[in-house]
Amino acid sequence: MDFTAAGLFVVGSALFFFASTAYVATWMFLIGSIFFGMKPTIRLMREIRFVRMGRYEALEQEAVLVSLENLMTFPFVQEALEAGDLTLHGLWMELGEGGLEQYDAALGQFAAV
C-alpha cells in the first residue's frame, strides 16, 4: 500500500506541472491519500479485534514486531546491521508469571528464553 500511495503521489505531482492534467493529478492525490490511510486503519482494526478476542498477548507481541520494523527505517541501524556491528532482538515479557520470550524470525513466532 505504501508503494502504491507513493507512486500515485509522485505521478500526481508530475501531472500538476501541466494545466491539462491537473484534474487527473488531483484524483491521483485523493486516491494516494486513501491508500496512505489504509495501512494504519487495517492495523487499528486488527488491534481492536485482538482486544475483543482477549488476545492481549498477541497485541503486545505485535507491538514488539512493529517496534523492530520502525527501528529498521533508520539508515544508521540498517548500516550497522549489514556491517554485523548490531543485532536486533524482540523480547516480550509476561509480567503476571514472569515469562520472557524472544521473537524467532525463522519460526515466525515468539519462543521462551
| Mean pLDDT, range 62-67, rounded to an integer | 94
The CA angle 25-29-31, to the nearest 5 degrees, is 115
Is the distance from CB of 73 to CB of 88 less than 8 angstroms? no
> Which has the minimum average pLDDT: 9-18, 41-50, 58-67?
41-50
- Helix locations, the chain, DSSP H: 2-15, 22-53, 56-71, 75-83
The pTM of the full predicted model, rounded to 2 decimals, is 0.52
43 pLDDT tier (thresholds 50, 70, 90): confident
Provide the pLDDT for residue 101.
94
The reported pLDDT for the residue numbered 15 is 92
The H or E element that residue 19 is part of is: none
Instruction: State the Cα–Cα distance between residues 2 and 36, nearest whole angstrom.
Output: 6
Average pLDDT value for residue range 30-54: 84
Cell reading at 58: 498477541
The reported pLDDT for the residue numbered 36 is 87
pLDDT, tens digit (0-9, with 9 covering 90-100), for 71-107? 999 999 999 999 999 999 999 998 777 889 999 988 9
Residue 54: predicted pLDDT: 67
